[in-house]
Amino acid sequence: MYEHRGYRTLLGRIRGNIRTYIRKQLELPRQEIAELLAANKRAAIWLGIAAGLAFTTVITLVVLVIALVALVPRDWLGMVVLGLSVGAAVALLILAIRGRMILPGLFGAVVLVGIGIVAFLFLPELVLAALLLTIALSIGTGATGYSGYSKLELHGPTRTINSVKETIRWAKARLLGRSAN
């Protein structure tokens, strides 16, 4: 009966140690995720700026369209819209090639150039001015968003993964070492 109590105490200690170990293993990913969030704070700020620019696009669109239509002749607006469309198409194509998404990038570039040509040939002043502002703000929003996205640090909880791997190696060595003896 005395030995039975000893085993019960030993098993209780082992159970307590396992619970403590599991609790600590669960705390490590939380800590790593908090560190990742802190590291990505700057990227989140850039993405927030991009979102702010996207929302202000609608507001500034109305004000600038009125001013542009009053000042700029139709032919000039058409040329600027065509130039911005071609420039945006080239930038989109370059980004698509970098990201290895050539077909969608090529499609987007062709659509942008087509919009520029149609705008230059057929659209009235008011629509041209609105399109010019929309393209310019979209380019600014895209550049800011891409800048924020490129600053993101996306990776898993590496310390936790390494710790679990090390524990598995230790357990295997310990179990195999005991079974060999």
Q: How far apart are CA 138 and CA 118, in angstroms?
A: 19
Digit-coded pLDDT (tens) for 105-125: 889 889 989 988 988 888 887
Q: How far apart are CA 131 and CA 57, in angstroms?
A: 12
Say if 82 falls within a structural domain.
Answer: yes
Tell me what pLDDT residue 19 has: 85
* Domain with 94 in it: 43-176
Q: Is pLDDT of 126 > 90?
A: no
Say if 95 falls within a structural domain.
Answer: yes
Q: How many domains does the chain have?
A: 1
Say if 2 falls within a structural domain.
Answer: no
Say if 77 falls within a structural domain.
Answer: yes
The model's pTM = 0.49
Tell me what pLDDT residue 49 has: 93
Q: Which of 27-31, 40-44, 51-55 has the highest mean pLDDT?
A: 51-55
Tell me what pLDDT residue 180 has: 47
Which comes out higher in pLDDT, residue 72 or 180?
72
pLDDT category of residue 8 using cuts at 50, 70 and 90: confident
Say if 31 falls within a structural domain.
Answer: no
Say if 24 falls within a structural domain.
Answer: no
DSSP string, the chain: -HHHHHHHHHHHHHHHHHHHHHHHHHHHHHHHHHHHHHHTHHHHHHHHHHHHHHHHHHHHHHHHHHHHHHHS-HHHHHHHHHHHHHHHHHHHHHHHHHTT-HHHHHHHHHHHHHHHHHHHHH--HHHHHHHHHHHHHHHHHHHHHHHHHHT------HHHHHHHHHHHHHHHHHHHHHHH-
pLDDT category of residue 28 using cuts at 50, 70 and 90: confident
The mean pLDDT of the chain is 82
Q: Is pLDDT of 75 > 70?
A: yes
Q: Is pLDDT of 5 > 80?
A: no
Tell me what pLDDT residue 52 has: 92
Tell me what pLDDT residue 1 has: 43
